[in-house]
Structure 1
Amino acid sequence: MGVMSDNRVENADDGFARAVLASSPNAVVALDRDLSVLVWNPAAERLFGWTCDDMIGRRAPLVPEELVVEHNAVLERVRTGGPVSLRTKRLRSDGSLVDVGVDMSALRSEAGALLGYVSVYHSLENDSAARDRGARRARLVRRLTDVVGDINAELELSPVLDRIAGSLTELTGADAGGFVLIEDDRLRLVSTHGLPDRLWGATADLHTSLVGKLLRTGKTVLLETGDQTVLDDLIWSELPGLHTIALGVAAVGGRPYGALYALFAERKAGHIELELLELLAGHAGIALANAMAYQDAVRQRAHERAVVDASADGIAVLDGMGFVRQWNPAAEELTGVRADEVIGARPPFPLPAPGEKLTTQLPCGRWLDVVSAEINETAEIVVDFRDVTRAKELEEAKDLFLATTSHELRTPITVVQGFASTLDARWDKLSDVERRSAVRTIAERAQALGQLMDHLLLGARAGAEELKVQVESFDLGERVRAATLGMPVLSDRHRVEVDIPRDLPLVDGDALATDILLGQLLENAFKYSPDGGLIRVLAWAESDHVVLVVDDEGVGIAPDDRERVFERFVQADSGDRRRFGGVGLGLYIARSLARAQGGEVTAHSRPGGGTRMRFILGIAPAYIGSDTPNR
């Protein structure tokens, strides 16, 4: 016998397949992935009344409207699992219904890709028992449709699980039911119906359970009947008389998520119950996926809201028209505008173009850096703004500091340069007195330059927290007397009084740092009382520290400036630099030196006008608890 060519073999195979389909007593219908008819054999023509030419390439109108939900669930089961067999009703071409049994399976390529579906139908009209079962099944399927709608109406995960467990016993006639989650290699009971509440949360090993057995079969449902020793030990002992367990796998995203248990003790379970369980499990997977997606969305929204509310930056969300829809707590604090005042209105500051930054000032004087970005999907605008007032003030202060420092340096340098040039050009023509006077002036101006450099260096070290002090016991009264010695003759407009008790206790601190600090306080007292008056220095012991005050009768300090004067590059009033000179570092250095040795310097208004600077240092340990003078 000769060997046939490949084409002849293929033609023979095609002819054989057509002969099989034509001879089959059962209706064979093959659909592509879009549910259009690919195969419609003669038995299908006889059963449903449509010819092959009527059906090929179009959707077959076989499924009654009330069974569409069931049909979709079966297709999903076939696509993700294995073959499904069921009894149902289908439409004929004359509009009548026919009871049929159908075996449905997936049509796949050699590589396993889904090509469509194959259904094999046979009529059940002559089987009265089948008709009764079909009628009962039809009622249950209609009820299933209602149950599915009820389950899908709930979006919270826990209520969805409870409704699934309750619907399970209603549809299958089971005596009890439950839903278990698959958590790695464990099962956890998360919903029950007809079982004791104490079982909620109980766990079991996945591999030794009926769920594990079902997963190993590759099927989606399992009916287990036998003695109690072979039934799932997670729940069997809590239902006396348990003889049958039906369970179905609920998949989410194509992967097993959990399983439904139907427990039978008084009633019997059969194919209809197993079929309904399978259908319910399919719908349960869809409902669970929806609930989980909703939960994720709620969780994500809550997370985003928590981040926004906890942000130190002001954050606003505007709609496409530019009206505020969200206004976080930091936005209220930064602008002073409450959320209920701005929601539905425009923000109380101008907006930059998306991707750009705008620095703007609020009516209250606060400066903000504002940026914005557009959400393309929603046309909303997210606005982020932060307080840069401090940075703005520091920037302005630094600019003023540079200008002032330049002025402070230029004056003595100009004098030094002038007198040095005069000495160089006219040395022989000047008298000895004139030359000595010029050199003295140069020395004085050089000393002033040195003091200015010392202030700048101390200010830089204090800003970098690099001030070094050596704490030890010393006599503060002695330091005050030395610092004020000779001061009464420095100015004919000022009087200096020093009131320091002889038995003032020793203090703990750095003597050199205190000398610099006292010099700055006294210098300020002279500088800021240009019209003269009394400068008084007092000290006394108080509790565990010594208090020293320097009073003057000068221009005073406004209440709002009592803290600002201790900041770098700040003087009490913007005009003070022009009036009194200096770079605004003196009191900043004084407070930094005080704190470095455990003390403090504060500014106060003096009764009757002027300023009181208050300096405290801790009493040396040897003096604490002894009788010390109080003031």
Structure 2
Amino acid sequence: MFFFFFYFFWLNDIFKLTAKELLDIRKKLETRIEIANMDLEEKNRELIVANEELKKLDELKSDFISLVSHELKTPLSAIRTSAEFLESEGTAKPEVQKEMLSIIIRNIDRQTRLINDILDLSKIEAGKMEFRMDQVDFNEVADTALENISQLSLKKKLTVSKDIPPELPLVFADKEKLIIVLNNLLGNALKFTPEGGSILLSANQYPDKIEIRVKDTGIGIEKENVGKIFDKFYQVDSTSRRKIGGSGLGLSISSGIVKAHGSEILVDSEPGKGSTFYFSLKKYGRS
């Protein structure tokens, strides 16, 4: 009888111990399942966000293609209209003929710039753009770029000034590519600065570099958009960009060129007050 009770209690202890072990295993499995579910939910959220980003990118690509097509067709239409006028009006006055030819040349230049922009950007993205690095006088680069926008700035009644020390040390750069960067930054400032505003191109010397700044009193950029303006697809989605015109490739190209010089273009901006784009270049002879 005693043996029976002893055996009963022994079995009962084993059952309790086994039940406890099974309960522990169950809790561990439930914890693992909960963690797995949380990971799955997180992955699903990431997939949803990625999918939304892809959809947005597709829309922006479509906008990009649409805008570039428009930018290509517009000068072609103007060229054709002017050429047809010259063909049909063989006895047009010389000044009228001159104006029509001027329109044709202006629009050929516009189309050439757009094609060159697209080619430059494709070379940058493919890592195939060639750079001829050498000693460069930045004052000469600045003067060339400022001359390129002088007529447009006068027409828009903008005050364009330069604040660069004449004794500024030489920089290590590709001169022609640097002119492209300044053309784009100054052209961008000109487009987005209202009539009567101002643009300042300046340069400051530091121990191992030269910092270049293009400051304007334009419409400015919202804080949440500053990090996106160098993306070619984002550019064409801008409402102000659509109103003002242009392909929106200039900042993307400039960013790629400056990165190839070992720097990056940074931006300080406030809506309604203007923007400052700035980057640095190595002094010639500095590693």
From the superposition, tell whether residues 329 and 602 of structure 1 become closer, same or farther in structure 2 (CA, over 3 Å).
Answer: farther
The Cα of 1:603 is off from its aligned counterpart by: 1.8
Name the SS of the counterpart of 1:143 in structure 2.
Answer: helix
Deviation at 1:449, TM superposition (A): 0.2
* In structure 2, distance between residues paired with 1:433 and 1:446: 20
Rounded Cα–Cα distance in structure 1 between residues aligned with 2:111 and 2:203: 32
* Structure with a larger share of its residues in strand: 1
Q: Does 1:580 align with 2:244?
A: yes
Q: Deviations over 1:310-362 (max 9, x none)?
A: xxxxxxxxxxxxxxxx434973995xxxxxxxxxxxxxxxxxxxxxxxxxxxx
Structure 2 CA distance for aligned equivalents of residues 483 and 459 of structure 1 = 20
Q: Which ranges of structure 2 fall in alignment gaps of 5 or more residues?
A: none
Which of 406, 418, 438 is the equivalent residue of 2:100?
438
Show CA shifts across 1:129-186 (max 9, x none): xxxxxxxxx9499739935961783389xx9xxxxxxxxxxxxxxxxxxxxxxxxxxx
Task: State whether residues 564 and 572 of structure 1, in contact with CA within 8 Å, keep that contact through their aligned partners in structure 2.
Answer: no
Instruction: Choose the corresponding residue for 1:411, options 70, 74, 78.
Output: 74
Structure ranking higher on relative contact order (CA contacts 8 Å, 6+ apart): 2
Tell me the TM-score normalized by structure 1.
0.40
Which consecutive unaligned segments of at least 5 residues does structure 1 have?
Answer: 1-65, 67-137, 160-289, 309-325, 335-367, 370-384, 625-631
Alignment partners' CA distance in 1, 2:4 and 2:190: 101
Q: Are residues 1:562 and 2:226 paired?
A: yes
Distance 1:305 1:457, change over 3 A: farther
Q: Which residue of 2 aligns with 1:514?
A: 178
One-letter amino acid matched to 1:580: I
1:477 touches 1:500 (CA, 8 Å); kept in 2? Answer: yes
Which aligned pairs between 1:134-283 and structure 2 lie closer than 5 A? 139=3, 143=7, 146=10, 150=14, 153-154=17-18
- CA separation of 1:387/1:517 partners in 2, compared to 1, >3 Å: closer, same or farther? same
Q: 1:467 to 1:389 in 2, by over 3 A?
A: farther
Structure number with larger C-alpha Rg: 1
Q: What is the TM-score when the length of structure 2 is the normalising length? A: 0.82
Structure 1 residue 423 and structure 2 residue 86: aligned? yes
The alpha-carbon distance between structure 1 residues 305 and 456, as it changes in their structure 2 partners (threshold 3 A), is farther
The match for 1:480 is 142
Corresponding position of 2:192: 528
- Whichever structure has more helix as a proportion of its residues is 2
Count the aligned residue pairs.
Answer: 283
Distance 1:386 1:301, change over 3 A: farther
Kept in 2, the 8 Å contact 1:605–1:611? The answer is yes
Superposition deviation, residue 516 in structure 1: 1.0
Provide the rounded CA distance (Å) in 1 between the counterparts of 2:285 and 2:29.
59
Distance (Å, rounded) in 2 between the aligned partners of 1:575 and 1:386? 24
From 31, 42, 45, the counterpart of 1:331: 42
Q: How far apart are the structure 2 equivalents of 1:400 and 1:471?
A: 36
Paired residue secondary structure (1:598): coil
SS at match of 1:554: coil
**Which one is further off, 446-455 or 143-152?**
143-152
Supply the distance in 1 between the matched residues of 2:218 and 2:15 (Cα, whole angstroms).
83
Matched, 1:549 2:260: no
Q: Give 1:390's aligned residue.
A: 53
SS at match of 1:570: helix
* Distance in 2, Cα, partners of 1:437 & 1:420: 11
Cα deviation for residue 497 of structure 1 reads: 1.0
Contact 1:552 1:612 (C-alpha < 8 Å) held by counterparts: yes
Instruction: Provide the residue aligned with 1:501 in structure 2.
Output: 165
